[in-house]
Amino acid sequence: MRKLLGLLTTGMTAAIMAAPGVAQTLPAPSIPPEPIPATAEEMLETPHILRRPAGVPVVVTVSPRGDDAGDGSPERPFATLTRAQAAVRQLNRGSDVTVRLMDGVYRLPAPLQFGAADGGQNGHVVRWEAAPNARPVLSGGTSVTGWRLADTQRGIWVASIPMGSAPRQIWVEGRMAKRATVEASRRAFAFHDWGIEIVDPAWRFLADLPDQGRMEVEGTSWFTHRHAVVDHIDGNRIVMKQPGWQNSIIGYDTIAQPLSGEKARFFLVNALAFLKKGGEFYADPAKGQLYYKPRAGEDMARAEVVMPTLQSLVAIGGTYDVPVRDLAFVGLSFQHTSWLAPSGPDGYASQQSGAFLSGRVPDYPDQPIRDCSWGCRAFETTRNRWHQQPAAVQVAAATRIRFERDDFTHLGQIALGVGNNADANERGIGMGTTAITIERNRFLDLAGGAIMVGGITPDAHHPAVPEAGVRDILIRNNIVKGVSQDYHEQAGILVTYATGAVIVHNDVSDAPYDGIDVGWGWGTNDPGGSPAYRVASRGYYDHPDNRVYDTPTILRDTVILGNRVHNVKSWFPDGGAIYHLSADPGALIAENYVYDVPGGIALYLDEGSRYVTMRNNVVSNVGVWLNLNSQGDMLPLRTAMDNVAEKNWYDSGRQTGAWTDYLNNRAVDNMLVKGGAWPAAARAIMDRAGVEPEK
C-alpha cells in the first residue's frame, strides 16, 4: 500500500503542480501523459475498489470527512479530489468511472489539472458528479473569522488574514463584496501620458494616503472598462505604473479620451480611506488585515466570509494529438477565485469583452492622448497579440467534455473558458476544443462574464492544423444572471471564433454589457480583409502580424435560438443585447425574446458581419431594436453586407444602420406592435424563450 500511495502521490504532484510554458506556435508541443501505475505488483496492493473486472462501471466516493487512506468506497471514502483523481487513472482504461462527491466544501490547495490520462480511455467515460441530494463545492477560498470592530464611528470591522493576501473580491454571506471605491468627477483631473493631474484641490488629500502603490483608477465609457494601478502620488501628480497606464490611453474609448465624454465615469479604488459603503472591503497585505464595512443586517459575529486564495479552480488540457476525452462534471459548484493580474503594473487595459492589452507597445506614439485616442497605427499592430482573461474553469485541447447542472458562482473572473488563447489556460495550450456541452448550469454572482468560447489570436481564426479548431459547442438551458460585476465590459456569453456554436434557450439578465456576443475581428481576418482598416490612419495591414487572408475564418454556422435576454446593457450604450461581428456563413439569430433594455440596442450587427439571418425575434422596451454598422452609409466601405432581418416583431426603438441594396442588407416584413397587441406567433415565441422545462 505504501508503495502505491507513493507512486500516486508522485504522479499527482507532477500533474497537479506543473505549469507548462505557454505554447507560442502551432502545432503545439506535446505534453506527456501523466503516468498511470499498472504493474501486477501495484494492482495487488491496490484498494479493492480498484480491482474491479474490466468493463464493469466503477464508482469512487469522496467526502470532506473521508480519509485518503480509505478505499474510495461509500463506507471508506477518499478525502481529497487529487486522491480520487489518482484512482481514476487506474480505472478509466477499462471501465466507465464515476467519482461521486458527497456534500460539503472541498477546499483546493491548488487548481485541479486534468490531462489526457484523466479522461475516459478506450471509449469509456469519466464523470465527476454530486451524490444524490448533495451540492458539493469546489472552493478556491478560505474562511475568514475572528472579526472585531475596528472603527465604531465608521462601522468598519477587521479580521486577520495571511500576510501578503490581496484579493480583488471576497464573499460575505454569499454575496460579492468589492474593494473600497469612490467615484469622482472627471473634471477634477487632467490626463497625461505619465498619469493624472489633480486639478480640483478637494482631491489633494490623495497625496497623504498610505499604500499609494496599491491604489487603482478605473474608467468606463462607451464599451470599455479599464483598470490601471497607481505608482505614487506627488502633490498634484498621480504617477501611474507602466505599461498599464500607457495601454489604457491608446486605442478607442480610452480613460483619457472616452467616447462618452462627460457621461464617462471615473473611479478611485483600493484605499482604506475610500471604505465608506456597506459591502466593500480593503485588504492590507503588509499587516495581514482585512477591513470590511457590513451591509445593513449583516452580523459580523456570525457572517460567513470567504476570501479567495486561488486564481483558478480547474484547468483541462491535453494536446492536439492526444486531447482530453469523455469527461463530465455534473451537479458541482465551482466557487471562490480572484484573478490578480490587474493588480500588477499591466493593470487591465480592456479592449472588449475579456480581451486586454498587456506589455509594452512597440513604436508607442510620442503624444498618445492627442494622436491615439481614436486609434493609430501603433495600436492597430497589437490586435493579434491581445490576451484573454483566464477563466476560473478552463478547457482546451479536449473533446466530448460536459458541464451539466453545475453552479459557477462567486468567481473573480469569467467563469468558464472553452478553447481560449494558450495564455488563458494553465496547462499552456489553447483552442482545440470540439463537442463541448454546457447545459442546465447556473452562472451567478460573477466578477466577469459567464462563458467565453474561442480565442482571438491568428491561431484562433485560422488554425495551422485542423485539430486546433473550436467546433460544435452547445450552450443550452443555462441561467446567466448578475455577471460582469467587476469587469463590466464582458458579455454574459461570448463566442469569438468557432464552427457550429449553438446557443439555445438560455436566460441572460442583469449584465452591465451585452447578453450574447458572437464573432471577433471586425472583419479584418475575413477573405480580402476590411477596407476600413486599410486607411492610412490605421494602417492595420502594413504590419506583418496582420495578414490579408484569402480563406475564411472558422466562424460559421452559429445558431442563437430561443434565448431570453433582458435587463442588460445597464452601463454601456455601445454593443447589443445580442451582438455580432465578422463573417459567419450560415448564421441564424431566431426566436429570441429581448426586452427591458431601455435606451440600449437589442439586435446589433457590427463591423464585418456577413451572411447573418435574423428572423422571428421579439423585441420590447428598447432604444434601438435593430442596428447594422457597416460605415457603408457614409463611405463606400463594404464592411457589413449580405445580411437579412425579416419577420421580427418590436414595440419600441428605432431601426438604424446601412440596410441598403448597395450592401445587400435587407430588412423586410418586420412588424411594429402597438399597445401590447402581440400576434399569437410572437406571444408563442415569448412564452417558449429562455430555459425549457425539464421533461
Residues 373-390: tens digit of each pLDDT: 999 999 999 999 999 999
Cα 247 to Cα 232: distance, rounded to the nearest angstrom = 18
Cα 266 to Cα 271: distance, rounded to the nearest angstrom = 15
Q: Which of 575, 464, 431, 461 is nearest to 523 (CA)?
A: 461
Q: Which of 392, 289, 273, 264 is nearest to 332 (CA)?
A: 392
Residues 285-294: tens digit of each pLDDT: 999 999 999 9
Per the prediction, the chain carries an average pLDDT of 92
Q: Which of 238, 199, 237 is nearest to 216 (CA)?
A: 238
- Grid cell, residue 646, equals 425579416
Looking at per-residue pLDDT, the higher value among 17 and 298 belongs to: 298
Local confidence band at 545 (pLDDT 50, 70, 90 cut-offs):
confident
Query: pLDDT at residue 465 above 90?
Result: yes
Residues 308-317: tens digit of each pLDDT: 999 999 999 9
Local confidence band at 47 (pLDDT 50, 70, 90 cut-offs):
low
Query: pLDDT at residue 39 above 50?
Result: no
Query: pLDDT at residue 15 above 60?
Result: no
Of the chain, the percentage scoring pLDDT greater than 70 comes to: 91
| pLDDT given for residue 536 in this prediction | 82
Sole residue written with cell 460567513: 304
CA 12 to chain centre: 28
Query: pLDDT at residue 590 above 60?
Result: yes
CB atoms inside a 10 Å sphere around CB 518: 29
| pLDDT given for residue 51 in this prediction | 57
- Write the burial class of residue 109 (CB in 10 Å: 0-12 exposed, 13-18 middle, 19+ buried): exposed
Residues 406-417: tens digit of each pLDDT: 999 999 999 999
Non-local CB neighbours of 544 within 8 Å, separated by 6+ positions = none
| pLDDT given for residue 662 in this prediction | 86
Residues 632-673: tens digit of each pLDDT: 545 557 789 999 999 999 999 999 998 988 899 999 999 999
| pLDDT given for residue 658 in this prediction | 87
Query: pLDDT at residue 683 above 70?
Result: yes
Mean pLDDT of 351-378: 95
Mean pLDDT of 498-503: 98
Q: Which amino acid, residue 569?
A: K
Local confidence band at 9 (pLDDT 50, 70, 90 cut-offs):
very low
